[in-house]
Amino acid sequence: MPKARYFINPKQRRIIMANNNTVKLIGFLGAETKVIESESKTFAILRLATADSYKDKETEEWKDKATIWHDVILFSPALIEEAKAYEKGARLEINGSLNYRDFKVLEDGKEFTKREASIIAYKVKQAPPKKEQASA
């Protein structure tokens, strides 16, 4: 596993970690923010939907690809409070890092290990409205 690299920002005189695992995701909020409180932590989960589009060469029409759902996890209390204000359907920009979690499932009497990806967010903001694709 690669070591984290650190450098000093001379203007602010503080150590900053170089983060190579960075994700920027723009999509639509699929449900209200879900806040989960346990004995040790409070965190929130956002469900973000994305769909890419392409221009059909024959018909010259824009077509949407399948919708992909992303799990976004927030640990920062300030981010959690901010995320509570967003309503279902809001277009959001998420900055964070990709995280994987292994879990076990039982299917037909056999145990399998599956892996799920999620984004640990460190920044959430309202994204500008989606531009309409030009018809030409």
Rg (C-alpha) for the chain, rounded Å, is 19
Q: Computed from CA positions of residues 73, 79, 84, 90, in that sequence, does the dihedral angle turn out positive or negative?
A: negative
Kindly report the pTM of this predicted structure. 0.72
Beta bridge partners of 87: none
The pLDDT tens digits for 75-112 are 999 999 999 999 999 999 999 999 999 989 999 999 99
Quote the CA–CA distance of 75 and 84 in Å, as a whole number.
Answer: 13
H helix intervals, the chain = 77-84
The whole-number pLDDT of residue 47 equals 95
